[in-house]
Structure 1
């Protein structure tokens, strides 16, 4: 099962996101005020989850009239609305989870949401974050990225040094390279074709395909 979680972060180009949502998702989950984004894109979610304090009244009525399920949680809780949406996605059997609207001006929320990719990785769930300029993945083993020639791909170590990094299909390849935590050597590589491969022996990296 493949689910989409829509959060209430920055989403400027609704046409871009509507094209993303045209992909075959089994379940679309809105985190609280993200239902405003869904309404503006004429997207109907399967469920709206959160404390429901950020939804415009007309949007709430619109989705109530469409018999969309609401799952209300207290405003004071130990998890963000996005995390509660993830719990729901896992409970219904999602093996792949995409996220939109999880990045924005609030750096604390953005970093916390990026870190969520790590917890999903450890649960064996494939995930990615998408916005108008970036696709963010995570791996502790091997990943293949698809795109087009000239796309920018960065490999960023997180949490610790990364051992045995090999990059294929990129302008600046690496072979069994030990990439130190906070090193910038993996930033702004360039795809040579429509796919590239990143593998490592130990550690964990974010893989970010970027558009200027």
Structure 2
């Protein structure tokens, strides 16, 4: 069974050359480390009203700089969506700055996040998808139906590493078609983590690197698990599973560029 690896090195000030990161900003408050995610990403998209968040919130995260200079520096490459949330002055500002605007108001069958993920996959057709990781800021919090819609995108693009990020934790999907290794960054992650079966029972789940490891454990919507990382492990492995793991941050320093 093929291995999928995950690491949160994007939360560190310097990162290895792999994987290739793309960033999608949704219409929720930016995490305090959003400038760090922006720095590490090679492609930055705003999903519709996510552009309002970049325009409004980035200057607040960098209060010692002029708002105009911050907005010029943190200019999205693409704004994509049905354009029902972005403010007119924000759209005009970024359009004048050279941002690519893609109006898909005729498509009401997919969410703005779905549209952005599809764009990223088309943007990198020759890139090995195992080397691509999509970071989604503003994916958690706010309306619950929006959160569930974002999780649905994880399931629709299950072969792509997509990480939903908030100020407090991160979520991604572990499809049962692969074995999984999660490389923990012990200076910023843990000790709490959770395993939540999604869509169907997980069958037989086996883990290593947790305080209470699971050995061929059956998980269903009636029995998710809240667990602890053991002794700040460098790696946690999971097999035979279709789960949403959640990992909390215990310390997260912001390193401005």
Query: What band does the TM-score fall into relative to the shorter chain?
Result: 0.7 to 0.9
| 5+ residue gaps, structure 1 | none
TM-score (norm 2): 0.72
Q: Equivalent residue for 2:139?
A: 102
Runs of 4+ in 1 over 3 A off after TM superposition: none
1:80-159 → structure 2 map (5 Å cutoff): 80-93=111-124, 95-121=132-158, 124-139=159-174, 140=176, 141-148=179-186, 150-159=190-199
Tell me how far 1:97 sits from its aligned partner: 1.2
CA–CA separation in structure 2 for the residues paired with 1:19 and 1:33: 20
Measured after TM superposition, the shift of residue 37 of structure 1 is 1.5
| Correspondence for 1:188 among 227, 237, 242 | 227
- Higher relative contact order, chain-length normalized (CA < 8 Å, sep 6+): 2
Out of 192, 197, 203, the residue aligned to residue 163 of structure 1 is 203
8 Å contact from structure 2 (residues 80, 102) kept in 1: yes
**Long gaps (5+) in structure 2:** 1-19, 59-70, 251-257
Q: Does 1:9 align with 2:40?
A: no
Tell me, yes or no, if the aligned pair for 1:170 and 1:196 is still in contact at 8 Å: no
Q: Is the 8 A contact 1:145 1:195 kept in 2?
A: yes
Deviation at 1:98, TM superposition (A): 1.3
> What residue in structure 2 maps to residue 18 of structure 1?
35
1:45 to partner: Cα distance:
0.8
Give the whole-Å Cα distance in 2 for the aligned partners of 1:6 and 1:162.
30
Calculate the TM-score normalised by the size of structure 1.
0.86
The alignment of Structure 1 onto Structure 2 pairs a total of residues equal to 205
CA deviation after TM superposition for structure 1 residue 82, in Å: 1.5
State whether residues 21 and 42 of structure 2, in contact with CA within 8 Å, keep that contact through their aligned partners in structure 1: yes
Aligned with 1:197 (options 236, 248, 253): 236
Equivalent-residue separation in structure 1 for 2:249 and 2:133 (angstroms): 23
Give 1:177's match in structure 2, choosing from 200, 212, 217. 217
Structure 1 CA distance for aligned equivalents of residues 141 and 93 of structure 2 = 26
Paired with 1:82 and 1:158, the residues of 2 have a C-alpha distance of 19
Q: Structure 1 residues 75 and 104, CA, compared in 2 at 3 Å: closer, same or farther?
A: farther
